[in-house]
Amino acid sequence: FGSLGFLGHEILHGAVVGKGTLRDVLGGLCLLPHAIAPLLWRQWHNVGHHAHTQMQGQDPDAYSTLEDYHERRSLQILHRLVPVRSLRFFALLAVWLNLHAAIVLVHSLPTMPGRQRLRVVIETVLPIVFWVAMGVWLGWGAFLFFYALPLLVSNFIVMSYIATNHLLNPLLEEDDPLAGSLTVSVPRVLDVLHSNFSHHTEHHVFPAMSAKYAPHVKRVLKELWPDRYHEMSLWKALGLLWRTPRLYLDNIRLVDPRTGRRYGVLGYGLDPNRVP
C-alpha cells in the first residue's frame, strides 16, 4: 500500500503520464487503499502544499503554532495524549495520513464548486464501498489482515517520510524548497520501492520531474548550496521528531506547551547530533 501511495503521488504530479483522465484514474487506483480522492489530492497537495510549503495558514500540511494550540481544544487533547518523547508518537504515525486526509476533506468540501464537490465525494466513497464489499465477501477476520493492518503499516511508512520531510524545518514567509524541506537517506532498496520519495528537497524544486532524476538534482543542489541543503538519515530524523516538540513558537522555534522549553529548527539552532 505504501509503495502504491508513493507511485500515486508521482502519477498525480504528472511525472508518469500527462494531465487528464488517465492520470486521475491511475492515481486514484494507487490511492485506493487510503480512500483519498485524486482531485482532492491534487488541490490539497499539488496546489496547496507545493505552492505554499511551510507557510502558516496557506500550507495545509504545515504544523500548528502555540497560538493555535491555545485556541483549539482538539490540539490540546492531542498534545496531552502524545507529549514530547512519548512512544505514542510512533502510534500516531500509523493513522496520521488518513486522519489528516479526512480533516482536509471536511475543510475543503464547503469551498468547492458543486461539480467538484460531487466528484470528490464520489471519489472518496467508491474506495470505501469497495473495501467494505471486500470485507463482506472475504470475511471481517480476513479483512483485518488483507486491509486494516496493511493500511496501518502504509500510514506509518508514508508518514515517516512526510513528517521528517518538513516538520523539523522552519515556517516560511515565502516558498523556499531548501529552507522548507529535508532530504532523508535510506537504503537503496527503499528508494526503489518508494519512488525516491526520500529525495524530498529535490522533489520540491521540480515537483513534476520523474523521481528517477532526483539523485542528479541532489548532486547539483549540494554543489550549489552546500550550507543551505538539509540531509540526514531517516532514522536520525525520526529520532529528532521524537525528541522535539511539534508546535511552533514562531517561525524558527519549536516549543513544548507543557514545559515551555524551546528548541531550534533546521538552519536555526537545531543540531541533529546534540538535542538535550
pLDDT tens track for 192-224: 999 999 999 999 999 999 999 999 999 999 999
Task: State the total domains in the chain.
Answer: 1
Answer whether 131's CB lies under 8 Å from 147's CB.
yes
Distance between CA atoms of residues 272 and 246, nearest Å: 15
- Selection from 153, 179, 152 nearest residue 165 by Cα: 179
Q: Please determine, for residue 276, whether its predicted confidence score (pLDDT) is greater than 80.
A: no
30, part of any domain: yes
What integer is the mean pLDDT of 27-32?
A: 98
Angle at alpha carbon of residue 189, lines to 187 and 190, rounded to 5°: 70
237, part of any domain: yes
What integer is the mean pLDDT of 8-19?
A: 93
β pairing state of 183-185 and 231-233: parallel
- Selection from 96, 119, 115 nearest residue 40 by Cα: 119
The reported pLDDT for the residue numbered 275 is 81
What integer is the mean pLDDT of 10-26?
A: 93
Dihedral over Cα of 48, 51, 56, 58: its sign: negative
What is the pTM (predicted TM-score) of this model? 0.94
Using a pLDDT cut of 70, give the percent of the chain over it: 100
Q: Please determine, for residue 59, whether its predicted confidence score (pLDDT) is greater than 90.
A: yes
User: Per-residue pLDDT tens for 125-156?
Assistant: 999 999 999 999 999 999 999 999 999 999 99
What integer is the mean pLDDT of 110-129?
A: 97
271, part of any domain: no
272, part of any domain: no
Beta strands in the chain (DSSP E): 183-185, 231-233, 248-250, 253-255, 262-264
45, part of any domain: yes
Using a pLDDT cut of 90, give the percent of the chain over it: 97
Q: Which residues pair with 129 in a beta bridge?
A: none
Answer whether 69's CB lies under 8 Å from 79's CB.
yes
What integer is the mean pLDDT of 34-45?
A: 98
Distance between CA atoms of residues 72 and 253, nearest Å: 20
When pLDDT is cut at 50, 70 and 90, the band that residue 229 belongs to is: very high
192, part of any domain: yes
The reported pLDDT for the residue numbered 274 is 87
The reported pLDDT for the residue numbered 20 is 87
175, part of any domain: yes
The reported pLDDT for the residue numbered 144 is 96
CB 64: neighbour CB atoms within 10 A?
A: 17
When pLDDT is cut at 50, 70 and 90, the band that residue 19 belongs to is: confident
Query: Which domain range does residue 146 map to?
Result: 2-264
Q: Own/partner pairs for 117-120, CB < 8 Å, 24+ apart? A: 119/37, 119/39, 120/37, 120/39, 120/40
151, part of any domain: yes
The reported pLDDT for the residue numbered 18 is 83
Q: What average pLDDT does the structure give for the chain?
A: 97
Dihedral over Cα of 209, 213, 218, 223: its sign: negative
Q: Please determine, for residue 68, whether its predicted confidence score (pLDDT) is greater than 80.
A: yes
